[in-house]
Structure 1
């Protein structure tokens, strides 16, 4: 992967495709070792987990709502959203 785009994404802008990537990477939830800590441009402490799509690395900000979404997401959700494991999840331009 050469020069992937890097995107920090908040729970509120989380697309079904990125949520599916999170569930695939962290099927049992994420732990302390998975959390990346950094300071944003405003100097605020941010905690995020990383997932990678074909040409983008997403840092998804951690929140209690994110954890609940990962826990509650299942294969039925993927089917309803028109996603399955045989295709690349769709992404919208809202992540940027």
Structure 2
């Protein structure tokens, strides 16, 4: 199994759907994984597993907003792997 660290900006609708499925009420302190990256910066992330990959998704206000605003019905099968299919969020977590 490979490990991948990903920022919310690079999430696909499919990955957001997995996050929403795993954390339907949002994630809590007990779900957060804290570690140091190669630059010795502290990173906080939540984990999502697929068949062959463990994703550590960096936490931000925008990630929470993206999860809250996500509706699977807004995406077709072609757009599920496209990070550009997700709406952009502003600093307050509102769709742009």
**Shorter chain as normaliser: what TM range?**
0.7 to 0.9
Cross-structure match for 2:51: 54
Structure 2 gap ranges (5+): 83-96
Q: Name the TM-score, length of structure 1 as normaliser.
A: 0.77
Structure 1 gap ranges (5+): 84-89
4+ long deviations beyond 6 Å: none
What displacement does 1:91 show?
A: 4.7
Higher relative CO (CA 8 A, sep ≥ 6), structure 1 or 2? 1
Cross-structure match for 2:31: 34
**C-alpha RMSD of matched pairs (Å):** 1.7
Q: Is the 8 A contact 2:17 2:72 kept in 1?
A: no
Equivalenced residue count is: 81
